[in-house]
């Protein structure tokens, strides 16, 4: 009877485990449940996930999985069978990613299980770990998904220690991206050891100096097949190599590996993606891992992580997504594009055609293939089956065609590795010279056999926003002529203008603000009419009687310093011509105020004589703030560099003035 009851209990447990339970709970409150049961000397796991919600008119949604068994081992199967090496209590969790789904990402549940069985004589093979080290057989990083701002992602960092102790560094947040988009989540762990994020470069340099050789590999999903080896002749060379790699990132984390924990070891690193990364969607960022063992034969593995808005496996990404205009405006820039695709059908895709609409700023003839999957040879070198070719079609699109391949579909019953259903091409192209400060957009239409095309997102590369300092030097001149009246003559004299300004860097075909700070000098000479009238002016040359005059004339010489703040709205018509209109706030300071009087009389011989007397008068008070409108034209390199400017000002007192100046935009 006891055996019968045990059999019935096991049968009931198996039946309960096998059911696809669908909860009536709302999608956003659905709690993922982990089920487990004994099977063949191991534990069979299954996750009860919320139902997928297909996007109206979209493709069939599906889940991808990353199981953490709590003992340093992982799996990407939907219902994995895992065998624990030792009895004990373990915490199991599931990281499920919803693809083509219109609902929220499932929460990460945890379940503690107690294992009483010993290791069986025939260990259960772990397919995930067996194929993990496809890039270099020693050290590699696996990502469970691409990065969505505001969510998180997981990295599995694996190492074959080879019986050697060592250190692993994880470098995140490339400086070229300009944002700290990844932060180390608290639940990151290597077994039960905390990953250290407080790493100091001097300590690292001591370790770098011990490196004799470094092997670099790269992957995206799957590995790119890129392998570069670097031999170091001296400690200085090794330190320089790793220092350059370290300096490319803002954040570094580390942990130690010990072969006593096993030859093959895996760490789970959870990264939170900050919402600020929304500005970089469609970009590719790189995370680098470095394994430095005690024998100095290091491995560097870099994994490309596209920044995305939704988990759509069909995607186009670009690197760099943001550029510095000052560094790129007058030279060609190498752009790296990646087009990813996934067959979500039940059968194999035999032909995959990628029709890429690249921006006109891209030189399509500079196309250079870096890596691809499925791996195959060029149709020019191979037979007619299982090859690739690329060409420009009549509309200017760059077409890449996988011909007579076999790409499995996610709906095939025998598919256990979702990566095998994905493909990609990674390629570089050059931009043309003299780029405009605008965004470059690209997209791809993906054709699986004879099905309707799938259009990817728009991959956009843009220049970072910034400001351009401006320095000017020129001449200030009145063009009003004689401003006098009632026989009083007033003439303004020329002065110099020196200023600085600030504007957005090289705006392309859109109005923009420009503000400046100017110091300008000017002069005003006022001549009063000659006035008849007798008088005497003391003068030693004429003795006690002095100089007797019959007429006099007075003039006034003034000099001014103008402190001005012009603000204007400008527009660049092209790279050689721009114009602006604005208003100027001006403060006028009187720096010289000198009166000169000439006296006219008759000399001893009857010939008219004159003498002159000068007086320094009290300077005028600093003026109130004055306002005047102006228009401005620049001719030359109006984006960045030198140009010539002409500015016309109207003032109610001076009437018409002009500035001719040279300027340089940095």
Counting Cα atoms < 13 Å in the Cβ hemisphere of 4 gives: 1
Per-residue confidence (pLDDT) for residue 417, from 0 to 100: 65
pLDDT, average across residues 566-573: 95
Q: What angle do CA 219, 220, 226 make, to 5 degrees?
A: 30
Are β-strands 387-392 and 377-378 bridged in parallel, bridged antiparallel, or unpaired? parallel
Answer whether residue 604 shows pLDDT above 70.
Answer: no
Q: Is 305 helix (H, G, I), strand (E, B) or coil?
A: strand
Q: Would you place residue 346 in the very low, low, confident or very high pLDDT band (cuts 50, 70, 90)?
A: confident
Q: CB 635: neighbour CB atoms within 10 A?
A: 13
Q: Tell me: the pLDDT tens digits for 123-160?
A: 777 888 888 888 888 999 999 888 888 888 999 999 99
Query: Is the torsion defined by CA of 505, 506, 510, 515 positive or negative?
Result: positive
Q: Would you place residue 6 in the very low, low, confident or very high pLDDT band (cuts 50, 70, 90)?
A: very low
Q: Tell me: the pLDDT tens digits for 31-43?
A: 889 999 988 778 9
* CA–CA gap between residue 109 and residue 591 (Å, rounded): 78
Answer whether residue 301 shows pLDDT above 90.
Answer: yes
The full length of the chain comes to 666
* CA–CA gap between residue 125 and residue 83 (Å, rounded): 9
pLDDT, average across residues 222-245: 89
Q: In whole angstroms, how far apart are CA 68 and each of 143, 191, 313?
A: 13, 11, 23
| Cis omega (within 30 of 0) for bond into 374 | yes
Q: Is 419 helix (H, G, I), strand (E, B) or coil?
A: helix
- Helix (H), strand (E), coil (C) string for 166-207: EEEEEEEEEHHHCCCCEEECCCCEECCEECECCCCHHHHHHH
| Cis omega (within 30 of 0) for bond into 320 | yes
Q: Tell me: the pLDDT tens digits for 465-512?
A: 889 999 999 988 876 656 666 678 878 788 899 999 999 999 988 999
DSSP character for 625? P
Q: Give 528's contacts (C-beta < 8 A, 6+ positions apart).
A: 487, 488, 553, 554, 555, 556
pLDDT, average across residues 188-209: 68
Q: Give 453's contacts (C-beta < 8 A, 6+ positions apart).
A: 355, 445, 446, 447
Per-residue confidence (pLDDT) for residue 11, from 0 to 100: 39
Q: Give 117's contacts (C-beta < 8 A, 6+ positions apart).
A: 38, 41, 84, 87
Q: Would you place residue 382 in the very low, low, confident or very high pLDDT band (cuts 50, 70, 90)?
A: low
pLDDT, average across residues 599-610: 78
Q: Would you place residue 535 in the very low, low, confident or very high pLDDT band (cuts 50, 70, 90)?
A: confident
Per-residue confidence (pLDDT) for residue 27, from 0 to 100: 54
Per-residue confidence (pLDDT) for residue 135, from 0 to 100: 84
Q: Would you place residue 14 in the very low, low, confident or very high pLDDT band (cuts 50, 70, 90)?
A: very low
Q: Would you place residue 337 in the very low, low, confident or very high pLDDT band (cuts 50, 70, 90)?
A: very high
Q: CB 229: neighbour CB atoms within 10 A?
A: 8
Under 8 Å between Cβ of 404 and 350: yes
Q: What angle do CA 96, 98, 103 make, to 5 degrees?
A: 120
* CA–CA gap between residue 469 and residue 449 (Å, rounded): 54
| Cis omega (within 30 of 0) for bond into 222 | yes
Q: Tell me: the pLDDT tens digits for 508-523?
A: 889 999 999 989 888 8
Enumerate the β-bridge partners of residue 36.
Answer: 45
Are β-strands 297-306 and 213-219 bridged in parallel, bridged antiparallel, or unpaired? parallel
Q: Tell me: the pLDDT tens digits for 84-128?
A: 888 889 999 999 998 888 778 888 888 999 888 665 556 777 888
User: What percent of the chain clears pLDDT 90, i.e. is strictly above it?
Assistant: 41
Per-residue confidence (pLDDT) for residue 52, from 0 to 100: 87
Answer whether residue 4 shows pLDDT above 50.
Answer: no
What is the distance in angstroms between the CA of the first residue and the CA of the last residue of the chain?
91
Answer whether residue 579 shows pLDDT above 90.
Answer: yes
Q: Which one has a higher pLDDT value, 30 or 597?
A: 597
């Amino acid at each position: 009877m006891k055996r019968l009851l045990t059999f019935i209990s096991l049968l009931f447990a198996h039946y309960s485990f096998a059911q696809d339970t669908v909860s009536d709970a709302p999608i956003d409150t659905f709690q993922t449940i982990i089920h487990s049961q004994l099977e063949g000397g191991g534990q069979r796991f299954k996750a009860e996930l919320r139902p997928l919600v297909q996007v109206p008119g979209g493709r069939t949604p599906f889940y991808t999985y990353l199981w953490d068994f709590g003992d340093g081992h992982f799996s990407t199967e939907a219902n994995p069978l895992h065998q624990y090496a030792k009895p004990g209590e373990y915490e199991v969790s599931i990281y499920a990613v919803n693809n083509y789904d219109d609902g929220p990402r499932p929460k990460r549940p945890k379940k503690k299980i107690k294992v009483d069985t010993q290791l069986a004589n025939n260990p259960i093979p772990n397919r995930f770990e067996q194929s993990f080290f496809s890039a270099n057989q020693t050290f590699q990083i696996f990502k469970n998904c691409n990065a969505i701002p505001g969510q998180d992602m997981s990295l599995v960092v694996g190492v074959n220690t080879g019986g050697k102790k060592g250190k692993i560094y994880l470098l995140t947040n490339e400086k070229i991206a300009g944002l700290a988009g990844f932060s180390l989540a608290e639940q990151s762990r290597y077994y039960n050891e905390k990953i250290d994020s407080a790493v100091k470069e001097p300590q690292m340099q001591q370790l770098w100096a011990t490196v004799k050789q470094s092997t670099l590999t790269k992957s995206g999903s799957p590995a790119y097949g890129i392998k570069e080896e670097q031999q170091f002749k001296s400690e200085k060379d090794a330190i320089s190599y790793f220092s350059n790699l370290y300096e490319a990132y803002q954040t570094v984390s580390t942990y130690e590996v010990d072969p006593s924990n096993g030859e093959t070891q895996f760490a789970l690193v959870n990264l939170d993606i900050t919402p600020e990364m929304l500005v970089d969607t469609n970009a590719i960022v790189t995370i680098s891992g470095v394994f430095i063992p005690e024998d100095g034969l290091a491995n560097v593995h870099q994994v490309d992580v596209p920044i995305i808005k939704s988990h759509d496996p069909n995607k186009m990404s670009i690197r760099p997504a943001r550029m510095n205009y000052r560094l790129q405006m007058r030279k060609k820039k190498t752009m790296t594009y990646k087009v990813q695709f996934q067959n979500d059908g039940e059968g194999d895709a035999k032909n995959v055609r990628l029709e890429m609409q690249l921006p006109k700023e891209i030189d399509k003839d500079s196309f250079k293939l870096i890596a691809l999957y499925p791996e195959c040879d060029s149709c020019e070198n191979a037979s007619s089956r299982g090859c690739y070719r690329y060409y420009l079609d009549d509309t200017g699109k760059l077409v890449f065609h996988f011909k007579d391949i076999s790409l499995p579909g996610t709906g095939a019953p025998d598919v256990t590795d979702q990566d095998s259903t994905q493909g990609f091409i990674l390629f570089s192209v050059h931009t043309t010279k003299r780029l405009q400060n605008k965004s470059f957009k690209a997209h791809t239409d993906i054709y699986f056999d004879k099905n309707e095309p799938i259009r990817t997102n728009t991959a956009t590369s843009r220049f970072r926003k910034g400001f351009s300092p401006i320095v000017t030097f020129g001449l200030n001149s009145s063009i009003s002529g004689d401003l006098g009246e009632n026989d009083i003559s007033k003439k303004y004299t020329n002065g110099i203008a020196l200023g600085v300004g600030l504007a957005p860097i090289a705006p392309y075909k859109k109005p923009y603000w420009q503000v400046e700070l100017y110091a300008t000098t000017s002069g005003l000479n006022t001549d009063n009419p000659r006035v008849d009238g007798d008088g005497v002016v003391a003068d030693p040359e004429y003795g006690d009687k002095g100089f007797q005059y019959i007429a006099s004339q007075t003039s006034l010489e003034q000099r001014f310093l103008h402190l001005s703040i012009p603000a204007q709205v400008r527009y660049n018509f092209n790279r050689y011509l721009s114009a602006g209109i604005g208003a100027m706030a001006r403060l006028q300071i009187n720096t010289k105020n000198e009166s000169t009087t000439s006296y006219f009389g008759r000399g001893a011989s009857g010939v008219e004589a004159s003498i002159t007397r000068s007086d320094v008068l009290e300077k005028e008070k600093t003026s109130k703030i004055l306002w005047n409108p102006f228009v401005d034209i620049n001719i030359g390199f109006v984006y960045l560099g030198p140009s010539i400017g002409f500015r016309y000002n109207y003032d109610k007192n001076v009437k018409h003035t002009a500035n001719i100046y040279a300027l340089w935009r940095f």
